[in-house]
Amino acid sequence: MRKCILLIVCLLLSAAGAYADESHWTVNPHGFQYDMTAYVKVVSANQSDYEVAAFCGEECRGVGKLLTASDGTQLFQLRIRSNEASGETILLRVYEKASSTEFHTNVNIAFVSQAVEGTPSEPLSLSVGIVLKGDVNGDGDVDIADAVAIVNHVVGKVTPSFFEAAADVNNDGDIDIADAVRIVNFVVGKIDAFSRNYDVGRMNLKQ
Give the count of beta carbons closer than 10 Å to the beta carbon of residue 172.
Answer: 10
| Residue 102 pLDDT class (50, 70, 90 cuts) | confident
Return residue ranges of the chain for CATH 2.60.40.
Answer: 23-128
pLDDT tens, position by position, 181-198: 999 998 998 887 665 554
Contact 25, 92 (CB under 8 A): no
Considering the segment(s) 129-202 as one domain, its CATH architecture is Orthogonal Bundle (1.10)
Q: What is the pLDDT of residue 63?
A: 96
- What letter represents residue 76's amino acid? F
DSSP SS3 for 207: coil
pLDDT tens, position by position, 15-72: 443 344 467 899 998 999 999 999 999 987 899 999 999 999 889 999 999 999 888 9
Contact 106, 42 (CB under 8 A): no
Strand pairing of 34-42 and 124-126? parallel
More confident residue, 127 or 178: 178
**How open is the CA angle 71-77-83, to the nearest 5 degrees?**
170
Q: What is the pTM of this model?
A: 0.59
Task: Look at the domain 23-128 and name its fold.
Answer: Immunoglobulin-like (2.60.40)
pLDDT tens, position by position, 107-137: 788 999 999 999 999 999 887 765 567 877 7
Return residue ranges of the chain for CATH 1.10.1330.10.
Answer: 129-202
